Structure 1
């Protein structure tokens, strides 16, 4: 017995005629008759009483009809619920944001999720990108925004954009008036970077190795502390423009371009394929991609979008 046979039986009982039921079901009448014969043989009872005007359910057939209707109705309800959840994802989704991006992206992302996906409970985790990558692999995150992330199994990613790194100095620092400095010359001043194996330090060290530069820099994994060091003039910080927008707006820091070469990194929206809520994770990733694209297009976030990734590209 299968759902198709239940559907056929219910239609025959309601039509009272094999030929009318066959028309509704768009099936050949001999095939429909054979399906009902197989069903009756399997159950060992006569479900339909044949007569000159058509067919009517037997006493047992009427009981079977009532059960079959309830089963088919329940199947339809389940289908509707699944379709509804696919169109309107719900549940908890954990999303990881790098420390350098969380302050600027956190509020717009939460606001956009409240507007477009109100049924999803968002759990935002802020950490250095190396930790976020590990959290994603360990199944502690569903979605993350990562810089130059490692290519592991069980994740899908959409590369969103390329972001240049800049040197941040106190307003009274000599470089503040110059507006730019060469990659080699910036190490003449004390530099603070996140500690290894942070992606920021890896990027700077790779650029240094290619350009025969010794990248001497103190290590600090706290963005607020890095900000305090830069504001005090004790060190210069390397970060994307987006990381210290508030400090620059208050006149506490100045962003200086790094030239010859200009270090940069790629940002990707990464989705775990092990998520317990794949629909919700995909929805969050898509909203995040759109929020980032809008911020870049309006100039709030200084970066270069991948041309084909501008809007709602996360699958």
Structure 2
């Protein structure tokens, strides 16, 4: 069994068609069919079920597909490790961005990396902070921007800034012209928040507990849906100013400061110490930190820079 055969088999299984797989792999279809025949003869089982619409993996074929994908991923990671030892960082780096920051940060980050680290292939993952934190702990991400991240082993982190949360209302709302709204008054209104265990809801609930406030709010984990709810006036949103820059620029929302108290959270650039591409991950984290700092200093991102670094556990094997 060869790595090449596993690659061919995975592509056929995912394409569901020999001709489509051959086109993607850029090899002749007869040659691809012969490779699969050789593989099935070697293993002594049928891996693919042929039918009028194409092919699907058999039960044993599905098991091989699952193993083959993991093997091919490990091969790619091994290549990244070797490449990362070279003078210039290269290879694939997976970076996680929280939903509320991805729209504003994604393009500047990708542009800066393309200019400064052209040999790095960036894989951007957008999700709520809780999911990104979990992905980082389980090795599915190399770098992430996290709100109030959990402290755990095998990560290095740089706290970048503190960001206040604000109340978002449609422009026709009675509060649209208000200078501020108190934290207590806010919950007399229909408010929408991400659901538990999202970091924002945790922050809000902790603030509420300290100030004897019951934080009744609708739960929604979709930022586009929260945006539409606010624009329609069905609910008011609580988000950082950076989350809805586009909507505010189009005159679809107004941001109102929240006071007495002002809820806030801290953002950190976090790097996995278990990454298979340490030089690439560190290079991406450095560029991300610089892009964020520049956006804050220019006023594009409303926040206060801090710049506190962790004492990360040494990574002897990665040096």
Q: TM-score, normalised by structure 2?
A: 0.70
User: In the aligned structure 1, how far is the partner of 2:83 from the partner of 2:301?
Assistant: 36
Q: What's 1:200 paired with?
A: 200
Q: What's 1:259 paired with?
A: 259
User: In the aligned structure 1, how far is the partner of 2:87 from the partner of 2:267?
Assistant: 28
Shift of 1:86: 5.0
User: In the aligned structure 2, how far is the partner of 1:273 from the partner of 1:242?
Assistant: 29
- Decide whether the 8 Å contact of 2:167 with 2:239 is kept in 1: yes
Q: What's 2:25 paired with?
A: none
SS in 2 for 1:258: strand
Provide Cα deviations, 1:26-48, integer angstroms capped at 9, x if missing partner: xxxxxxxxxxxxxxxxxxxxxxx
Larger radius of gyration: 1
- Decide whether the 8 Å contact of 1:203 with 1:265 is kept in 2: yes
Counterparts in 2 of 1:287 and 1:246: CA distance versus 1, 3 Å: same
User: In the aligned structure 1, how far is the partner of 2:143 from the partner of 2:83?
Assistant: 23
Shift of 1:199: 0.2
User: In the aligned structure 1, how far is the partner of 2:295 from the partner of 2:247?
Assistant: 18
SS in 2 for 1:234: coil
User: In the aligned structure 1, how far is the partner of 2:161 from the partner of 2:307?
Assistant: 9
User: In the aligned structure 1, how far is the partner of 2:143 from the partner of 2:84?
Assistant: 22
User: In the aligned structure 2, how far is the partner of 1:174 from the partner of 1:85?
Assistant: 59
User: In the aligned structure 1, how far is the partner of 2:176 from the partner of 2:87?
Assistant: 51
Shift of 1:151: 0.3
Mapping of 1:143-182 within 5 angstroms?
A: 143-182=143-182
Q: What's 1:93 paired with?
A: 93
**Do residues 224 (structure 1) and 255 (structure 2) align?**
no
Q: What's 1:269 paired with?
A: 269
**Do residues 103 (structure 1) and 103 (structure 2) align?**
yes
Provide Cα deviations, 1:186-210, integer angstroms capped at 9, x if missing partner: 1111000000000000000000000
Q: What's 1:304 paired with?
A: 304
User: In the aligned structure 2, how far is the partner of 1:180 from the partner of 1:118?
Assistant: 45
> After the TM superposition, which segments of 4 or more aligned residues of structure 1 sit over 6 Å from their partners?
none
Comparing 99-108 and 168-177, the one that deviates more: 168-177
User: In the aligned structure 1, how far is the partner of 2:181 from the partner of 2:141?
Assistant: 38
User: In the aligned structure 2, how far is the partner of 1:241 from the partner of 1:177?
Assistant: 16
Q: What's 1:46 paired with?
A: none
Counterparts in 2 of 1:308 and 1:158: CA distance versus 1, 3 Å: closer
SS in 2 for 1:89: coil
Q: What's 1:115 paired with?
A: 115
SS in 1 for 2:280: helix
Provide Cα deviations, 1:196-243, integer angstroms capped at 9, x if missing partner: 000000000000000000000010000000000000000000000000
User: In the aligned structure 2, how far is the partner of 1:281 from the partner of 1:86?
Assistant: 14
- Gap runs ≥5 in structure 2: 1-81, 310-314
SS in 2 for 1:184: helix
- Decide whether the 8 Å contact of 1:176 with 1:256 is kept in 2: yes
User: In the aligned structure 1, how far is the partner of 2:111 from the partner of 2:203?
Assistant: 32
Shift of 1:154: 1.0
- Decide whether the 8 Å contact of 1:148 with 1:268 is kept in 2: yes
RMSD: 1.6
Counterparts in 2 of 1:97 and 1:233: CA distance versus 1, 3 Å: same
Q: What's 1:238 paired with?
A: 238
User: In the aligned structure 1, how far is the partner of 2:87 from the partner of 2:199?
Assistant: 36
Shift of 1:177: 1.0
User: In the aligned structure 2, how far is the partner of 1:215 from the partner of 1:83?
Assistant: 50
User: In the aligned structure 2, how far is the partner of 1:191 from the partner of 1:87?
Assistant: 51
